[in-house]
Each structure stands twice: as C-alpha cells, then as structure tokens.
Amino acid sequence: MTRADFTGADLQYANLENSKLENAYLTNANLSEVNLSGANLKDAFLSKADLSNADLTNADLTNANLYATNLTDANLTDSLFIKADLTEAVLVGANLTNADLSGARMSFSDFSGANLSGANLQNPWPEGSNSHYSNLDYSIFLNANLSNANLTFASLWAADLRGANLTGANLRGANVFEADFTNANLLNADLTDVDLSNAVLKGATMPDGTSAK
C-alpha cells in the first residue's frame, strides 16, 4: 500500500499490523485504536490524524509528517520518529519507552504525562543552527517520565518540564533557556555544558541530590 491515499478515512479499530504504508496519505484520518505495530510509515503524511490509543509499537515513522496529530495514550514503544515532524502534536499520556525521536521537530508539542523512559531525543546536528530539525522549544513535559532519556544538544527553549522525572537523563549541551524545571527530578542527570542561569529550577532535585531554591 505504498503511496496509498486514505485522506480523511475512518479506519478506527483496523488491524494494520506490519502493513507497508510508506509515503501513504493519512491526513485527517481516524486511526484511533488502530493496530499499526511494526508498520512501515516512512515519509507518511499523518498531519491532524487521530491516532489516540493506537498501537504503534516498533513502527517506523522516519521522516513522517505528524503535524498537529493526536497521539493521546498511544503505545509508541520502540518506535522510530527519526527526523519526523511532530510540531504541535498531542502525545499526552503516550508511551514512548525507548522510542527514537532523534532529529525530530517537536516544538509546541504536548507530552504531559507521557512515558519517555530511555527515549532518544538527541539533536544530531549540534554544530549548526538546525534547531528547526530537532527541537522541543515551548513543548510541554508536565509530569512526564524522561528518566535515562537522551537529550544531548536538544533545544528545550521555554519548555515546560514541571514535575518531570529526568533521573539519569543525558542533557549534555542542551539549550534550556527559560525552561521550567520546577519540582523536576534531575538526580544523576548529565548537565555538562548546560547553562542553567536562565532556567527555572524552584524545588528541583539537582544531579547531586540537593534541592534547588
């Protein structure tokens, strides 16, 4: 089904496990509670689609367009979102354990309550100003689980990380200008080359276990 056109289609509850949907058009489609585990969705167009409660375990969404897509409570364990566009996407309560989001665009997205334990959110272009390829600017991680996540060189400009669990996370070289870490847990996190001077750290647990004031 490569380049298949399902624009606006109602596919709720469909079983599309291991399906080949590379370059498929799924814009505005209803894919809630769909089984897309192991699916190939490389370069697919999923903007504004409803993927709430969908199963995308081990799915490949490399370079996919997920602008303003609803992924609330979706299972995205071990999925690939490399260089995908998740701008303004809603991932509230989603399970992104060990997902690879390296190089993805995620500004203004909402990860409130999401589980990103072990996820890779690394910016693979730390030298240039390619933050439009990989950033989390203004994104919301309220009470999210980011333990052991890889956020190397990530751009978290004005991101909301209040109450987030960042224990053991790698934030080496990350941009956290005006990011809010109120009551966040940064125990054993790697903050090498991170400038915290303009970040909000009230009540946060620092890497050494001390509490910020």
Residues 101-123: what's their mean pLDDT? 92
Report the C-alpha gap between 47 and 55 in whole angstroms: 17
pLDDT at 206 over 80: yes
pLDDT of residue 4: 92
User: Under a CB-based contact definition with an 8 Å cutoff, are residues 80 and 61 in contact?
Assistant: yes
Residues 41/21, Cβ–Cβ less than 8 Å: yes
Q: For residue 198, count other CB atoms closer than 10 A to its CB.
A: 11
Torsion (CA) 150, 153, 159, 163 in degrees, nearest 10: 40
**Interval 146-200: pLDDT, tens:** 999 999 988 899 999 999 999 999 999 999 999 999 999 999 999 999 999 999 9
**What CA–CA distances, in Å, run from 160 to 87, 117, 144, 154, 157?**
15, 17, 10, 14, 9
133: nearest Cα among 154, 150, 115, 149: 154
Is residue 185 classed exposed, middle or buried when 0-12, 13-18 and 19+ CB atoms within 10 A define those classes? buried
The mean per-residue pLDDT over the stretch 60-76 comes to 98
What residues form DSSP beta bridges with 105?
85, 135
- Across residues 30-34, what is the average pLDDT? 98
CB atoms within 10 A of CB 128: 8
What is the per-residue pLDDT for 1?
Answer: 65
Q: What is the pTM of this model?
A: 0.90
Condensed to tens digits (0 to 9), the pLDDT of residues 183-197 reads 999 999 999 999 999
Residue 133, pLDDT > 50, answer: no
Question: Which of 203, 202, 134, 210 is CA-nearest to residue 173?
Answer: 134
From residue 62, how far is each of 21, 42, 206 by CA, in Å?
12, 5, 34
* Local structure of 169: helix, strand or coil: coil
Place of tokens 């080949």: 20
